[in-house]
Amino acid sequence: MGDARIRFRRSGGLFAGDRLETSIELAELPQEEAADLEHDLAAVDLDALARGSPLRGRGADAYQYDLTVERGGETRDVTVAETAVPAELRPLIDRLTRRAAKERRRR
């Protein structure tokens, strides 16, 4: 999976301008970080989530997560409301949110 690319965006929420974004090439990451992301990706059925996307949930002022995973010449797009994130997707969403917030602080 070293050729995988992940694009992530969190939008919405209570404050309209509170968007987080990151784009990751797994091959460019330190080995441990890439392995953690690969583990999180392996726990998720991206095909099923992409077919069901967008996953809608209840609640005003909730975040929306947009995830695109490219690997092996295929692309999977998943959009999910904060209140509808499946349990198996939560670790990946949390990891990507932390990474995007860290990148924003560095700017």
Under the banding of pLDDT at 50, 70 and 90, the label for residue 2 is low
Neighbour tally for 60: CB within 10 Å: 6
Q: Taking the CA of residue 89 as centre, how many other CA atoms within 13 Å lie in the half-sphere pointing to its CB?
A: 23
Contacts of 6 (CB under 8 A, 6+ apart): 22, 23, 24, 26, 37, 41, 67, 68, 69, 70, 96
CA dist 74 and 65 (Å) reads 20
Domain ranges (residues) in the chain: 5-106
**pLDDT tens profile 33-92:** 999 999 999 999 999 999 998 888 776 778 899 999 999 899 999 999 998 999 999 999
Question: 16 pLDDT exceeds 80?
Answer: no
